Amino acid sequence: MSLNSPSELIRVIQACRDNNRLAQKELYQHFYGYGMSVAFRYVNDREDAVEILNTAFVKIFKNLDSYDIEKPLKPWIRRIMVNTAIDFLRVRRRIADSGDIELAPEPGVQESVTSNLAYEEILKLIQQLSPSYRTVFNLFVIEGYKHEEIADMLGISVGTSKSNLFKAKAHLRVALEKLEAE
């Protein structure tokens, strides 16, 4: 059954709140692809992405009573996915505090380099970043968090957040230039 109509989605959410396993399976399957795409922004490994997804859905089902049914579900799920990915990286100690480094001014870049690349190519480049750079890049550029929020979420300083973003952009710039030259 499709969850494309608001009434059907509300029905499934209500059933999930009542611990209906079939409804939980339906909600999980409906958001599986979306959840995996969010998880893959933070980890390279499929098993890690599935672990993040499954852990997030445990949290989703546990906290579904706090979800406001009048608001869109997808952003609520995304926030849980992102927080779960950050927790996963923190627990696995993949995020290394590289210390406070002052942010150097960015040299001018031609922003249109990415216009010729497919989404999958850009995602592959982002996945090649170190976990700490990739996490800050995703939170700042894709999720729209501020450096202060990122610092609080990851337990790093604002300077480290800015430095990691700068380094992530520099690595991506080099990788994009290599692709452009090919």
77 plus 124 within the same structural domain? no
Q: What is the mean pLDDT of residues 49-76?
A: 94
Q: Of 99, 100, 101, 83, give the one whose Cα is nearest residue 154.
A: 83
Find the CATH number of the domain harbouring 86.
Answer: 1.10.1740.10
Of residues 87 and 16, the one with the higher pLDDT is 16
Do residues 83 and 19 both lie within one domain?
yes
Q: Which of 31-45, 105-119, 166-180 has the highest mean pLDDT?
A: 31-45
Please indicate whether residue 22 or residue 108 has the higher confidence score (pLDDT): 22
Domain membership flag for residue 97: no
The token pair at 119 is 């989404």
pLDDT, one tens digit per residue, over 107-143 is 443 444 444 456 677 778 888 899 889 999 989 988 8
* Burial tier of 173 (Cβ tally within 10 Å: 0-12, 13-18, 19+): middle
Q: Does residue 162 sit within a domain?
A: yes
Q: Which of 59, 91, 123 is where one domain is finished?
A: 91
Looking at the fold, whether 77 and 133 belong to one and the same domain comes out as no
Is the domain of 27 the same as that of 86?
Answer: yes
Kindly state the tokens that stand for 93.
């100690």
Q: Which residue segment(s) compose the domain that 144 sits in?
A: 111-181
Check residue 111 and give its pLDDT.
Answer: 41
168, 137 in Cβ contact below 8 A? yes
